[in-house]
Amino acid sequence: MKESTLVLTYAGMGLAVMMLGLLVFIQGMVLENPEQHVKLGRRVRTIGTGLFAIGVAYVIGCLAMALAQH
């Protein structure tokens, strides 16, 4: 397998983590609406934001490595 294909595969996995983080963030927004679940919603949103940030950093890193190889 070529290295560029492998790097782009890892970038795709980073994109999946980013999308998962976005979905978790949206779920946190939904949980925050009822008054009882505000604290839980904030925690879920924080986890979603963290996953999204990790995914974005991973995708940018992988794409930068792919561009540096060419």
Tally the domains of the chain.
1
Tens of pLDDT along the chain (70 residues) come to: 566 677 778 888 888 888 999 898 888 888 777 666 778 888 888 999 999 999 899 888 888 887 787 6
- Cα–Cα dist 8/45, whole Å: 28
CA-closest candidate to residue 52, choices 12, 10, 23, 13: 23
**For residue 41, what are the domain limits?**
3-69
pTM: 0.76
